[in-house]
Amino acid sequence: MIAQSEIIIPEYSLDRDCTTLSRHVLQQLNSFSADAQDLSAIMSRIALAGKLISRRLSRAGLMEDVLGFTGDSNIQGESVKKMDIYANEVFISVFKQSGLICRLASEEMEKPYYIPENCPIGRYTLLYDPIDGSSNVDINLNVGSIFAIRQQEGEDFDGKATDLLQDGSKQIAAGYILYGPATVLVYTIGQGVHSFFLDPSLGEFILAQENIKIPDHGSVYSVNEGNFWQWNDSLRDYIRYVHRHEGYTGRYSGALVGDIHRILMQGGVFLYPGTTDQPEGKLRLLYETAPIAFIMEQAGGKASTGTTRILDIVPEKIHQRTPAILGSKKDVQLVESFIQDKGE
Q: Please tell me whether residue 274 binds ligand P6P under the rule CB under 6 A.
A: no
State which residue, 283 or 285, has the beta carbon closest to ligand P6P: 283
147: left (phi over 0), alpha (psi -120 to 50) or beta: beta
- Distance CA(241)–CA(243), nearest Å, equals 5
What 3-state class would DSSP assign to 130? strand
Residue 100: CB minimum distance to ligand P6P, A: 27
Q: Please tell me whether residue 331 binds ligand P6P under the rule CB under 6 A.
A: no
Considering only 1-9, 128-136, 261-269, 292-300, which stretch makes contact with ligand P6P by CB under 6 A? 128-136
Residue 13: CB minimum distance to ligand P6P, A: 35
Q: Please tell me whether residue 254 binds ligand P6P under the rule CB under 6 A.
A: yes
Considering only 50-58, 165-173, 248-256, 312-320, which stretch makes contact with ligand P6P by CB under 6 A? 248-256
**Amino acid type, 223:** V
Q: 294 near 174, Cβ under 8 Å?
A: yes
Please identify which residue in 112, 122, 133, 281 interacts with ligand P6P, judged by CB under 6 A: 133
Please identify which residue in 256, 295, 326, 335 interacts with ligand P6P, judged by CB under 6 A: 256
- Distance CA(20)–CA(270), nearest Å, equals 30
- Distance CA(278)–CA(273), nearest Å, equals 9
Residue 335: CB minimum distance to ligand P6P, A: 16
What 3-state class would DSSP assign to 2? coil
Residue 256: CB minimum distance to ligand P6P, A: 3
Please identify which residue in 38, 84, 108, 132 interacts with ligand P6P, judged by CB under 6 A: 132
Closest residue by Cα to residue 134 from 43, 9, 253 = 253
Which residues, 215 to 244, sit near ligand P6P by CB under 6 A? 224
State which residue, 196 or 287, has the beta carbon closest to ligand P6P: 287
Q: 339 near 234, Cβ under 8 Å?
A: yes
Please identify which residue in 126, 255, 295, 311 interacts with ligand P6P, judged by CB under 6 A: 255
- Distance CA(307)–CA(218), nearest Å, equals 21
- 233 CB-contact burial (10 Å; exposed 0-12 / middle 13-18 / buried 19+): exposed
Residue 151: CB minimum distance to ligand P6P, A: 26
Q: 207 near 19, Cβ under 8 Å?
A: yes
Backbone torsions φ then ψ of 226, nearest 5 degrees: -65, -20
Q: 147 near 175, Cβ under 8 Å?
A: yes
Considering only 18-26, 30-38, 39-47, 251-259, which stretch makes contact with ligand P6P by CB under 6 A? 251-259
Considering only 33-41, 154-162, 249-257, 326-334, which stretch makes contact with ligand P6P by CB under 6 A? 249-257
Q: 296 near 304, Cβ under 8 Å?
A: no
Considering only 65-73, 129-137, 197-205, 209-217, which stretch makes contact with ligand P6P by CB under 6 A? 129-137
Residue 19: CB minimum distance to ligand P6P, A: 30
Which residues, 281 to 320, sit near ligand P6P by CB under 6 A? 282-283
Residue 76: CB minimum distance to ligand P6P, A: 9
Q: Compute the CA torsion angle 62, 65, 69, 70 (nearest 10 deg).
A: -160
> Residues 95-124: x/- map of binding to ligand P6P (CB under 6 A)?
------------------------------
153: left (phi over 0), alpha (psi -120 to 50) or beta: beta
Q: Which spans of this chain sit near ligand P6P (rule: CB under 6 A)?
A: 132-133, 135, 224, 254-256, 282-283
